[in-house]
Chains A and B, each alone.
Chain A
Amino acid sequence: MSEKNELFEFETEGDSITVKPSGELVMTNADNYDLKQMPISKDTKKITLDLENVERYDTYLLAFIFRIEKMCKEKEIEFELIGVDTDMQSYLDLLMPKEEIEPEEEEKGSKFVLKVENFGNNIKTQLSDIHDFVEFFGILATKAMKLIFKPLSMRWEDFPAQVFRSGVMALPITMLIVFLIGLITGYQGATQLKRFGADMFIADLIGISITRELSPLMVAILVAGRSGSAFAAEIGSMKVTDEINAMTSMGYDKYEFLVLPRVLAVVLSMPFIVMICNVVGLFGGLIAAISTLDITVISYVNRLEMSLTYGDIASGLIKSIFFGFVISSIGCYKGLKVEGGADSVGRMTTSSVVAAVFMIILSDAIFTFIFQAIGI
């Protein structure tokens, strides 16, 4: 009995099947040679693979033979290969593994044990990360102390460029965002205050929320996205391309050469950015106030002068200095943690932004309690 399926022909004779593929037995043509089409039954005792009609072949030929051979082995069927010419034989000899390829068995263990093991490994990684960061922080603090006594130990040539990139270049976007935040807060606040006839208190609301919270927080989040990620990517790429090793071998200290200029640039830039953004945010609130409430520019400014204290402004600026330190040190730390290639740079860059934003918000909460306690 003969069954034809275009390029894949089978001849059944008693308990034997002869498989006769023809045409191009190549990877891109594999759909034509589906082994499921083979009419194997419980009674099949022998399969003969006849390659005589194969006109062109590539590695798929060997994979095809392997699969039929494996199938026969599993079903305890005798296997025979015929119709192999000299060229085909040399091709098969070249590719044929010296030892039989057996797919590796995956290590099997109890799922519960694996989960506990993974959990343990994650905890270990986190703890080691905390340890490394504390170590990094310690070295950074030591280098910063050294800077006080030996100001020339840092690479100052890099400092103005870092201030420009992290501070000056960040101004347009931070100003725009804080202006819009002031505007939104003003509109939202005005609606509520109007209901109680407390229109004048819009200046208090805008003044305190912008200077104490919104301006430092928004600026910090934006700088984390701009500069923190840039530091991680820059330093990480330098690590991948051995630039940091080259620098170390030339006697330069990576903290003094790379980390300190960046940290110092962001720490010093942040209060200036926040001060400028405070003014812009209050202006946004003013626009909302005069357009929705029955107050004038003069009365808004007078009320601001009465309600805003030096403490409000100082608390925002103190926080911004700390946020700057958090953003830049996390960015540099993550950059130095890069290992391997491009994927590690990507992971560490993302991680630097996530960690910085989390630390900014956490430290903001802590600052709020501290300032409350000491009455600022």
Chain B
Amino acid sequence: MEDDFIIEAQNVTVRYGELTVLEDVNFKIRRGEIFVIVGGSGCGKSTLLRQLIGLEVPTEGQIMIEGENLSEASADDSSSIMKKFGILFQSNGLFASMTIGENVKLALDSNTSLDEETADRIIDIKLNSVGLLNYKNFYPSEISGGMQKRAALARAMALDPDILFFDEPSSGLDPLTASALDKLIIELNAGLNTTMVIITHDLASILNISHRVLMLDKSVKGVITEGKPDELLNMKENELVYNFFNRIPMEG
């Protein structure tokens, strides 16, 4: 279990022209853990996420998903690797012209040959697991922001992915709704053993849900530390980390 790594970033460097955003980033994520990536604005969190989910290929280095190299995979291979992911985007990415049920069904239609009745059952189960069964026929614009996040989560989970990526899941949510979403993430992780990779700024969320935290900083264009959340919270020897986790503004 200890060495069952599902994701490995090996010497990942990302450059856009002359601008280097990430340099020689290395980390490993264990199967079934809730792994949080944090860092100040502009440190490259979103850039790293785009590499991890295969939307971009690193300039140097590689991303390994269950031992398969996503960065060097052919279009067909990377598509089959990407089926192992579910992604909850910051702005949900729900299709506004489809109902919540149709949004979930879309993921099933493109990847399975389930008959209508079974697909319908699975949609109900997924929506039930995020508490939205009664909103199956609602359009995204007809439900609240928190519900939209949960609907997007149901769609991300439609194919029972091994890994779920979350980009700022609590952005735009009130503290209670954000906390309810955290609880749901913990429940799903515990019950389904799905690996969760979360990019967030929300300190309460980081401390509540994460098993391990990776912190990026733009001063080093990469990882400045990695550890359990309570370790990072008390890491007085590293001013950057301590200030970040204790919300102390940097001088100058």
Contact = CB atoms under 8 A, between A and B. Distances in A.
Given A91-B191, A103-B120, A342-B96, A97 B114 contact: no
A345 to B, nearest CB: 10
A104 B121 contact: no
Given A27-B108, A91-B191, A101-B133, A58 B160 contact: yes
Contact of A59 (B95, B96, B126, B133): B126
A30 interface: yes
B113 interface: yes
- With a 10 A CB-CB cut-off, give which of B121, B133, B136, B159 has the most chain A CB atoms: B121
15 contacts: A27-B108, A28-B111, A59-B125, A62-B125, A63-B118, A67-B121, A97-B133, A101-B124, A101-B125, A101-B128, A101-B133, A339-B141, A341-B96, A341-B97, A341-B141
A94 B192 contact: yes
A95 B124 CA distance: 10
Q: Is the interface of B mostly helix, strand, loop or mixed?
A: helix
A153 B92 CA distance: 40
A343 B97 contact: yes
B81 interface: no
B69 to A, nearest CB: 23
Interface of A is mostly: helix
Given A62-B125, A66-B121, A95-B128, 12 more contacts: A27-B114, A59-B122, A59-B126, A60-B118, A63-B121, A90-B191, A91-B192, A94-B129, A95-B125, A340-B141, A341-B141, A343-B97
A97 B128 contact: yes
Interface of B: 95-97, 108, 111-115, 117-118, 120-122, 124-126, 128-129, 133, 136-137, 139-141, 159-160, 187, 191-192
A339 B115 CA distance: 35
A344 interface: yes
Q: Top 7 nearest A-B pairs by Cβ distance?
A: A341-B96, A94-B191, A58-B160, A63-B121, A343-B97, A97-B128, A101-B124
Interface in A327-344: 339-344
Contacts of B97: 341, 343
B128 A27 contact: no
A39 to B, nearest CB: 19
Given A27-B122, A344-B96, A59 B160 contact: yes
Contacts of B121: 62-63, 66-67, 101
A31 interface: yes
Interface in A312-368: 339-344
A27 B159 contact: yes
Contacts of B122: 27, 59-60, 63
Interface string A17-49: 000000000111011000000000000000000
B194 to A, nearest CB: 11
Given A59-B160, A94-B187, A30 B96 contact: no
A313 to B, nearest CB: 47
B125 A27 contact: no
Contacts of B133: 97, 101
Nearest to A36: B115
A94 B130 CA distance: 11
Contacts of A94: 129, 187, 191-192
Nearest to A34: B115
A34 to B, nearest CB: 9
Contacts of B108: 27
Contacts of B124: 97, 101, 103
Contact of B113 (A31, A59, A103, A342): A31
Nearest to B101: A104
